């Protein structure tokens, strides 16, 4: 009886995902040649919860021409910032059955640029990826080069961003597959970002597990060890790597339909809340993103219900 119910649930999930693709989801991430009006953006993209890439949305930002390594070194050289360091570029990812976070290292911006520019010998992969409004909190000197918010997005949502984040890292730095409850406007200043995206309706095909958290720590000889946080609660995370998915262990993922998109300098990705995403970048890519917290939005509650139902399927 339980097996029959599970088969029925799996069938419903497949139909739900297929109908979402047929009725309203795009087969690729579309481009808009200019920013829409707030009403158009809410009606066509936020409401339906669909991603898009927007061109010509921040051509007026001085950052597009100013943010060279030379400028950043002059502006921020002695500034101490927080940098994520890992042995392989995978931070906040499932490794050897644990959820392993990066070593958070304090270093000057000039020292980071020395790493990015290959001026020093080092072990590990470096990435500025702190997501607590690090641009406004750690690097306010750069705020004059961008806008502090996106006016048409503010109007569409009726609120200002909850965080403005700065990103800079090496090509080997990878953001593992995950989702956020933020509406996300991701602006690439230099280089290129590559996103793998999956809609919330593909949640039933995406595996989750509970993993003991741990942290990388670089030892005196330069090697990295994994220090388990035995007193911390286990973390729910996705063990699957969409670059090389193990379809034997995670057979259900074969029903997912990921979208691949590349966001180049001067382009803005609208990444809707609760879309799964995996991110890579070209070496030295710089970006800024604006997060709008939608935890209590209607669509958040709707997709949380789907998440709960999928969780029941995961545990059966």
pLDDT at 124: 96
pLDDT at 193: 98
pLDDT at 23: 80
pLDDT at 315: 47
* Residue 190: C-alpha distances to residues 101, 131, 297 (Å): 26, 19, 33
% of the chain at pLDDT higher than 90 = 81
pLDDT at 296: 61
Q: How do 90-91 and 174-178 pair as beta strands?
A: parallel
Q: Which pLDDT tens digit goes with each residue over 253-284?
A: 999 999 999 999 999 999 999 999 999 999 99
Token look-up 């800079």 returns 168
pLDDT at 316: 41
**Choice between 274 and 312, residue whose per-residue pLDDT is larger:** 274
Closest CA relative to residue 153, chosen from 16, 293, 275: 293
Taking residues 183-187, what's their average pLDDT?
97
Q: What's the sign of the alpha-carbon dihedral 135, 270, 177, 182?
A: positive
Token look-up 């290129």 returns 192
CB 238, CB 206: distance < 8 Å: yes
* Residue 85: C-alpha distances to residues 100, 106, 213, 224 (Å): 12, 10, 16, 10
Which DSSP string do the residues of 134-164 spell out, in sequence order? Answer: HHHHH-GGGGGGS-SS-HHHHHHHTS--SEE
What is the model's pTM?
Answer: 0.91
Question: What's the pLDDT band for 14 if we cut at 50, 70, 90?
Answer: confident
Q: Which pLDDT tens digit goes with each residue over 210-250?
A: 999 999 999 999 999 999 999 999 999 999 999 999 999 99
pLDDT at 188 > cutoff 90: yes
Taking residues 166-179, what's their average pLDDT?
97
- When the pLDDT of each residue in the chain is averaged and rounded to a whole number, the result is 92
**Choice between 2 and 66, residue whose per-residue pLDDT is larger:** 66
pLDDT at 207: 96
Rounded to a whole number of angstroms, the CA Rg of the chain reads 20
Q: Which pLDDT tens digit goes with each residue over 21-57?
A: 888 888 999 999 999 999 999 999 999 999 999 999 9
Distance from the Cα of residue 168 to its chain's centroid: 13
pLDDT at 18: 79
pLDDT at 298: 63
Question: What's the pLDDT band for 11 if we cut at 50, 70, 90?
Answer: confident
pLDDT at 208: 95
Q: What is the largest CA-CA distance in the chain?
A: 69
Closest CA relative to residue 142, chosen from 187, 104, 173: 187
pLDDT at 3: 55
Give CA–CA dist 221/233, Å, rounded.
31
pLDDT at 106: 96
Question: What's the pLDDT band for 154 if we cut at 50, 70, 90?
Answer: very high
Taking residues 125-131, what's their average pLDDT?
94
């Amino acid at each position: 009886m339980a097996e029959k119910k599970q088969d029925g649930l799996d069938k419903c999930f497949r139909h739900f995902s297929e109908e979402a693709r047929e009725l309203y989801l795009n087969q690729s991430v579309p481009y808009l040649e200019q920013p829409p009006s707030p009403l158009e953006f809410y009606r066509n993209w936020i409401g339906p919860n669909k991603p898009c890439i927007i061109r010509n949305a921040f051509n007026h930002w001085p950052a597009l021409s100013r943010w060279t390594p030379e400028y950043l070194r002059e502006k921020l050289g002695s500034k101490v910032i927080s940098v994520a360091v890992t042995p392989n570029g995978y931070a906040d990812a499932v490794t050897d059955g644990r959820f392993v976070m990066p070593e958070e290292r304090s270093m000057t911006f000039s020292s980071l640029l020395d790493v990015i520019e290959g001026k020093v010998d080092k072990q590990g992969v470096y990435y500025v990826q702190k997501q607590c409004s690090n641009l406004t909190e750690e690097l306010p000197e750069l705020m004059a080069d961008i806008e502090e918010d996106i006016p048409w997005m503010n109007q569409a949502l009726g609120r200002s961003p909850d965080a403005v984040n700065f990103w800079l890292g090496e090509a080997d730095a990878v953001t593992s597959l995950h989702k956020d409850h933020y509406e996300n406007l991701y602006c690439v200043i230099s280089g290129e970002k590559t996103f793998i995206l999956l809609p919330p309706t593909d949640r039933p095909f995406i595996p989750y597990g509970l993993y003991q958290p741990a942290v990388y720590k670089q030892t005196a000889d330069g090697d990295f060890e994994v220090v388990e946080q035995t007193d911390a609660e286990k973390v729910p995370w996705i063990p699957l790597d969409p670059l090389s998915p193990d379809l034997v262990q995670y057979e259900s993922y074969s029903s997912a339909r990921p979208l691949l998109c590349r966001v180049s300098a001067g382009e803005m990705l609208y990444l809707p809340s609760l879309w799964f995403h995996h991110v890579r970048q070209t070496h030295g890519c710089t970006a800024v993103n604006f997060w709008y917290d939608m935890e209590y939005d209607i669509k958040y509650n709707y997709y949380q219900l789907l998440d709960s139902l999928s969780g029941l399927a995961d545990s059966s």
